Amino acid sequence: MDRLQTESVLLEPLTRDDFPWLFVLYADAEVMRYIGHGPRTEEESRKNLEWLLGHGERLPFGYWVLRDRAGGERLGGAVLMRRREGTPVELGFMLARPAWGRGLATQVAQALVVHAFADLVLPELQAFTDVENTASAAVLRKAGMRDAGLCPGPYGGIDRRFELTRDDWLLQRSSIARLPNMR
């Protein structure tokens, strides 16, 4: 997995040193309000994070810990993951509360979309949000993903699904690049 960066955020591949900080993040009821079955116990989080560590060893993508580029402190996590063989790679992100509302998730989602299509050459991406998670849906739209409507999500409920193919991403980029010539 590569280390990545945006204007304000460093994306560093997950290590076991990050686990204690992430246990606290995953136990925060506000952060977990729209994710899975809500706050997780340390045991649940450890199991999930061990799976994500293994994912990043098998594949060139997985879970990145987000750090503030200026101060170095952890801000949250973001993921490109294949939950099951044969399913599209899924984009996800989660920030600690002090990091909300500063445009950081948008920066990270945009960077991971570019990484997925330009560097990893994935054919498509998908993402799921709770139907009430308007902030997350806004982030995904701003990352160029298309609202594909409601469908069964990864945790058994009905979620909003977002998708983007590499072909559509290339089209988006070429139309953005052509704009200056159209003036």
Ligand X SMILES: CC(C)(COP(=O)(O)OP(=O)(O)OC[C@H]1O[C@@H](n2cnc3c(N)ncnc32)[C@H](O)[C@@H]1OP(=O)(O)O)[C@@H](O)C(=O)NCCC(=O)NCCS
Interface residues toward ligand X, by CB under 6 A: 31, 34-35, 76, 92-95, 100-106, 129, 133-136, 138-139
- In the numeric block, which tokens belong to residue 159? 């979620």
Q: Which residue number, 110 or 172, has a Cβ lying nearer to ligand X?
A: 110
How far apart are the C-alpha atoms of 139 and 3, rounded to whole Å? 21
How far apart are the C-alpha atoms of 45 and 100, rounded to whole Å? 22
- In the numeric block, which tokens belong to residue 137? 């849906």
Tell me the residue ranges of DSSP E strands in the chain.
4-5, 9-13, 63-68, 74-81, 89-95, 124-130, 146-152, 158-165
At 130, the amino acid letter reads D
Q: Which residue number, 94 or 122, has a Cβ lying nearer to ligand X?
A: 94
CB of 117 to ligand X, least distance (A): 20
CB of 145 to ligand X, least distance (A): 11
CB of 14 to ligand X, least distance (A): 17
Which residue, judged by CB position, is nearest to ligand X in the bound state? 105
Handedness of CA 11, 14, 17, 18 (dihedral sign): positive
CB of 58 to ligand X, least distance (A): 23
